[in-house]
Amino acid sequence: MTSEEIRALTQQYIMPTYGRFPVVIDRGEGARLYTPEGREYVDFTSGIGVNDLGYGYQPWIDAISAQAKKLGHISNLFYTEPSAKLAEILCKRSGMSDVFFANGGGEANEGLIKLARKYSFDRYGKGRATIISLKNSFHGRTITTLKATGQEVFHNYFFPFTEGFRYADANDMDSLNAVAGEDVCAVLVELVQGEGGVLPLDREYVHALSALCAARDWLLLVDEVQTGVGRTGTLFAFQQYGVTPDALTFAKGIAGGLPMSGILANEKCRDVLGPGMHATTFGANPVSAAAALVVQDTLNDEFLAEVVKKGAYLRESIEALGLPCFGATRGLGLMIGIAVNDGYSNKEIANRLIDNGLLVLTAGAGMRLLPPLVITKEEMDKGLAIMKRTLV
């Protein structure tokens, strides 16, 4: 089919929930993508932080193919090897005790919220179910995770929302203390707010927050759906903040492009969710788990050190271009935000870059770059050249 035909069918038959760019993607190689007509794009998006191994990564293809031949799905009423191995690796590398596998970020956060409320119910009984989240956060699109999201624009149309959330300003312990109370059971944060604009939390704030949570037996919940799986240069972002969450969620990059997510919980939360308490039909899918094992195999210390270097190279190079529309860059590893100067629109900049062959994302009022973690120097330079040519 041609790009034109694919766009027409999509517009007729798929619900119009996405403001799509007018580009049809057919295939990819490394960090480059191609339309059905063969036009090339350099990818600084990875889906949205999903395709950490890029496109056409041979070990990933081989593992998926082999697992699909053996067993594509079986219910969680039975045991399978890929999910068992993956669980062990994730627990050992994160220092957590056990894992629950789900399919998407919002769904994992739903489970995380259930875990926090059940933990508190077991210890303290009813009336201690409130979760504090941060303003400008993003936690998902379900009725509950919309409410957990600390942005008023998400609290529309779908009433009634789940009760039991209050919001504090990021990096402000006074704001947090102002909404604290006897009814609180947990605090939920992204260590780098992704959708909100690539805004890293301050180290001192995260340490103060962690100490307060420990003192009041509030669970420290970290949403690593976007920051996790090597994106920031460590397997999880909490590992470079020097704090230990009670539970965290991961999703986007975990299986390199197949749907998978999960919750990792520490010893304190072990066995809070018992048989019949939580479940999902597709969770721990063996093909997704086999793909995730390749991701874990690839993301060794040497690879993660490269992610840090590539992130620094991209940020320095972008700032060195001195483009009139861009201010400073921020972020961690290959999760990069760029401030957009007054008088310029991030949406318009994204459209122009995409027109010229470079896929980028926006977040908040700025730009957001989430390139495949395997991106090469040549591919980064190609993307930078498009930026320069388009935006001088």
Ligand X SMILES: *Cc1c(COP(=O)(O)O)cnc(C)c1O
User: Tokens 């040549």 correspond to what residue?
Assistant: 378
Give which of 250, 239, 278, 253 is closest to 109, Cα–Cα: 250
Residue nearest to ligand X (CB): 105
User: CB of residue 138 vs ligand X: minimum separation in angstroms?
Assistant: 5
User: CB of residue 227 vs ligand X: minimum separation in angstroms?
Assistant: 7
Residue 189 and residue 237: Cα distance in Å, rounded? 12
Contact between 200 and 191 (Cβ < 8 Å): yes
User: CB of residue 223 vs ligand X: minimum separation in angstroms?
Assistant: 5
Nearer to ligand X, 279 or 385 (CB): 279
Nearer to ligand X, 195 or 246 (CB): 195
Distance of CA 337 to the CA centre of its chain: 14
Nearer to ligand X, 124 or 158 (CB): 158
Structure-token pair, residue 168? 């504090």
Buried b / exposed e over 69-91, threshold 16 CB at 10 Å, is eeeeeeebeeebebbeebbebbb
Residue 245, helix vs strand vs coil: coil
CA 280 vs CA 19, 72, 170, 275: distances in Å: 29, 16, 32, 12
User: CB of residue 264 vs ligand X: minimum separation in angstroms?
Assistant: 15
User: CB of residue 180 vs ligand X: minimum separation in angstroms?
Assistant: 23
User: CB of residue 282 vs ligand X: minimum separation in angstroms?
Assistant: 13
User: CB of residue 385 vs ligand X: minimum separation in angstroms?
Assistant: 29
Nearer to ligand X, 32 or 252 (CB): 252
Residue 51 and residue 373: Cα distance in Å, rounded? 8
User: CB of residue 224 vs ligand X: minimum separation in angstroms?
Assistant: 8
Distance of CA 331 to the CA centre of its chain: 14
Residues that bind ligand X (CB under 6 A): 104-106, 109, 138-140, 190, 194-195, 223, 225-226, 251-252
- Amino acid 227 reads T
Nearer to ligand X, 99 or 225 (CB): 225
Q: What is the DSSP string of 268-325?
A: GGTTSS-TTT---TTTT-HHHHHHHHHHHHH--HHHHHHHHHHHHHHHHHHHHHT-TT
Residue 208, helix vs strand vs coil: helix
Nearer to ligand X, 252 or 382 (CB): 252
Rounded to the nearest 5 degrees, what angle is found at the Cα of 308, between the Cα atoms of 305 and 310? Answer: 110
Nearer to ligand X, 135 or 388 (CB): 135
